[in-house]
A and B are shown apart, each in its own frame.
Chain A
């Protein structure tokens, strides 16, 4: 602050350097995404153009129409939606029960339960891949969204339990005591008293778990053959015709599955940071 009057040259140099850094960071974070959006709006023939010509080339939505007409992609969207919503719904329900018990009740063995859940959250997925594969086959769930929903619980459950527990701890106890005095059962207390208070936490946790399930690749690639989720479809994208690799369409498909996530993330910005820190920084 003093620098401005004492040594204006140095002050403005510093400010300029700072804004330069801001611009560099902004470009670094956004340029690859911007280029993907741009590519999705260009016709396949324009991909060879030099960058300046490419930016100036004609905008077209043909990649998007072709992507949406692609049966694999349509199916992928549906599968992803079923699998992500299914596993998030189960995790939120079980997670809310557990969080209520872990955040509000005192009992023997609580620390052990917490450590088991934490241990599962650092599990490498590959460690259960062969065990799950044989189980899923035994139950006839190969290529079935149920098999994926089940396998996704391995990362969605620990996450929801941790985040919701740290949230339940911060809810003032009077609410629940009042319900207990009125003779409410624990389930009534949970559903009628705590759930409404927990709504913001449930939404945030659900959203973060949804993002994780929506993005999952290893299980989806391994446990399905035709009922693939969107990440697997995008990873192995081939257009309607036998092009080499239809980059315009791949980028269009990528944008289609990413934009809803980005919008959700931007809308819930503040909640997400608190959800992430509850889930990651506190453990």
Chain B
């Protein structure tokens, strides 16, 4: 590690070099850990995506290039996962899930944050209640809702509250379409709190004198919200949106717990990848799907960051 800067007194440079060396040693364990648990496994996933290999015997592999992605045999049998309609169904369902649930969470989160941010009796209670769904593990909330949706025991599933048996469709294939809405409802319930917490933190950092000035000028609350609150909240809101969207795109827990892994493969990209990799033991194919999920998510990150000029730090 060397530090090249404009000529400085020798003593300062000595300290700077020493500091840089110390910083390197302080960071080294973290960098090694990240390389070990993220970098190298990612490399191996990409590597295996170009082979035909079985999970039980990774060493007996054949190089097939991009065959896992797109490959048609001489008999016209499509083997690449990009030729599998079920993959595209999973992509469609995941995107639908992400767009609708993140949109609803943002709207509900905004409403809850605005309510909690205003002065009223019981504010402390609501603020506390807000933390409950967020603190509940995803698997637990999935089980709770699976029970609520259950057609012989559940509050919603028995139609007590005007609900329908969302999970009880006897037809696996037809069922997915309506089930995705049941999954969205669960995700919205679970993560609206997170959105509300972040928006609330943003709201509380807004300067109050601007609102006083706006009151003086006779601006209505409605105008104040659209002209002041929303533009000022933009940075916080955008970063929250990015993180929630990324979480929703890699969703797996909810579908796996509530629908089982077979249906999860039709409703989430991660579920599809995991089914190929673990349930079907196709190491090469599963890795290829994982690479595709990784690429899709990274492309969306780049679009978000450039389109909205999201600034980190």
Contacts and interface: CB of A to CB of B under 8 A. Distances in A.
Given A116-B34, A130-B48, A36 B132 contact: no
Contact of B40 (A29, A105, A131): A131
Contact of A124 (B1, B150, B250): B250
A251 B235 CA distance: 39
Contacts, number: 281
A126 B41 contact: no
B78 interface: no
Nearest to A261: B135
A128 interface: yes
Interface in B22-46: 22-24, 26-27, 29-31, 33-34, 36-38, 40-45
B252 A130 contact: no
Interface in A133-173: 133-135, 137, 150-151, 153-154, 157-158, 161
Contact of B143 (A129, A153, A235, A264): A235
B182 interface: no
Nearest to A18: B120
B290 interface: yes
A193 interface: no
Given A127-B42, A265-B135, A151 B37 contact: yes
A114 interface: yes
Contacts of A110: 23
Contacts of B22: 101, 105, 186
A106 B36 CA distance: 26
Interface in A199-230: 211, 214-215, 217-218, 221-222
A243 interface: no
A47 B157 CA distance: 13
B79 to A, nearest CB: 18
B290 A130 contact: yes
Interface residues of B, number: 97
Interface in B91-123: 111-112, 115, 120, 122
Given A124-B270, A276-B198, A283-B313, A131 B27 contact: no
A273 B290 contact: no
Interface of B: 1, 3, 16, 19-20, 22-24, 26-27, 29-31, 33-34, 36-38, 40-45, 48, 55, 58, 111-112, 115, 120, 122, 125-145, 147-148, 150, 152-153, 155, 160, 189, 193-194, 197-198, 200-202, 235-236, 239-240, 243, 246, 249-250, 252-253, 256-257, 269-270, 273-274, 277-278, 283, 286-287, 290-291, 293-294, 297, 301, 312-313
16 contacts: A30-B132, A33-B144, A97-B29, A105-B20, A107-B1, A107-B3, A129-B286, A129-B290, A132-B41, A153-B33, A231-B140, A254-B144, A273-B197, A277-B198, A277-B236, A281-B236
Given A123-B42, A134-B58, 16 more contacts: A26-B125, A29-B132, A48-B153, A51-B155, A101-B23, A102-B27, A122-B246, A126-B273, A127-B45, A131-B43, A133-B55, A133-B278, A154-B37, A215-B138, A231-B137, A237-B143
Which 5 residue pairs of A and B lie closest in terms of their CB atoms, listed nearest first? A131-B41, A283-B312, A131-B44, A127-B294, A101-B26
